[in-house]
């Protein structure tokens, strides 16, 4: 049986960094589900497919290929065989991804892909609905949170490191917009699973968050 760790939480709560580090340490394959919704968004932007054009969306979902591959320690994303790791982080994609992720048929397809990815491998999967919807029986469920301001600061720093131009006010506004969209959606809203462990990371260093999660996982494996 595969061992599954689900990490959920809002944008910028540290899920991505934490999942990568913990995955590496404990030999769990790390899957970034937000990146999958970003790939779908990029495809729609490039092909001028509107959010309401369910027929076209359904057509391309049948053939779209989204892959995550580890290339010498770096996670890379591929959309129909093209590497799009940086493109899916750009502003135009970030602006529509929350809405795209709430299109029911998009979510159904992504959830199906996510469940297939986890067959027979030990994984740490991060997203919004992993513990509540994708893997309600996950072995460990973590819900990471932090204040919106702290999350905006982190995103700004990340973008700077990647050389992506951005400004704090815009990021903060986008984070609040997405929080609201993600929490109030009637399609898999962002909520903490009842049996998830809540960690507020606002005043914690990334190493401290990882240590907490690693201890939780090791403890669970012993049982």
Residue-by-residue DSSP string for the chain:
---EEEEE-STTSSHHHHHHHHHHHHT-EEEEHHHHHHHHHHHHHHTT--TT-HHHHHHHHTT--EEEEEETTEEEEEETTEE-TTGGGSHHHHHHHHHHHTSHHHHHHHHHHHHHHTTTS-EEEEESSIIIII-TT-SEEEEEE--HHHHHHHHHHHHHHHT----HHHHHHHHHHHHHHHHH-SSS-----TTPEEEE-TT--HHHHHHHHHHHHHHHHH-
In terms of CB distance, is 103 or 219 closer to ligand DC?
Answer: 103
In terms of CB distance, is 186 or 222 closer to ligand DC?
Answer: 186
34 counts as binding ligand DC under rule CB under 6 A: yes
Q: Which residues within the stretch 77-106 sit at the binding site for ligand DC (CB under 6 A)? A: 97-98, 101
Q: How far is the CB of 33 from ligand DC (least distance, A)?
A: 4
Site string for ligand DC, 162-191 (x = CB under 6 A): ----------------x---x---------
Binder among 23, 66, 129, 166 for ligand DC (CB under 6 A): 129
Q: How far is the CB of 67 from ligand DC (least distance, A)?
A: 16
In terms of CB distance, is 70 or 218 closer to ligand DC?
Answer: 70
In terms of CB distance, is 3 or 89 closer to ligand DC?
Answer: 89
Q: How far is the CB of 101 from ligand DC (least distance, A)?
A: 3
- Provide the binding-site residues for ligand DC, judged by CB under 6 A: 11, 33-35, 37-38, 97-98, 101, 127-129, 178, 182
């Amino acid at each position: 049986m595969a061992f599954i760790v689900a990490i959920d939480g809002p944008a910028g709560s540290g899920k991505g960094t934490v999942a990568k580090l913990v995955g590496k340490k404990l030999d769990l394959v790390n899957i970034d589900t937000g990146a999958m919704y970003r790939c779908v968004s990029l495809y729609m932007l490039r092909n001028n497919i509107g959010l309401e054009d369910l027929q076209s969306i359904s057509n391309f979902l049948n053939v779209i290929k989204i892959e995550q591959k580890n290339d010498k320690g770096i996670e890379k994303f591929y959309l129909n065989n093209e590497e799009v790791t940086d493109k899916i982080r750009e502003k135009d994609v970030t602006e529509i991804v929350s809405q795209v992720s709430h299109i029911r048929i998009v979510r159904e397809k992504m959830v199906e892909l996510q469940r297939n990815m986890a067959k027979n491998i030990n994984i740490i999967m991060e997203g919004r609905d992993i513990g509540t919807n994708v893997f309600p029986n996950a072995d460990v469920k973590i819900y990471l949170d932090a204040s919106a301001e702290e999350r905006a600061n982190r995103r700004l720093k990340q973008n700077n490191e990647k050389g992506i131009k951005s400004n704090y006010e815009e990021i903060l506004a986008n984070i609040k917009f997405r929080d609201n969209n993600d929490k109030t959606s009637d399609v898999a809203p962002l909520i903490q699973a009842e049996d998830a462990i809540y960690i507020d990371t606002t005043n914690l260093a990334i190493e401290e968050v990882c240590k907490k999660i690693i201890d939780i996982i090791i403890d669970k494996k012993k049982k």
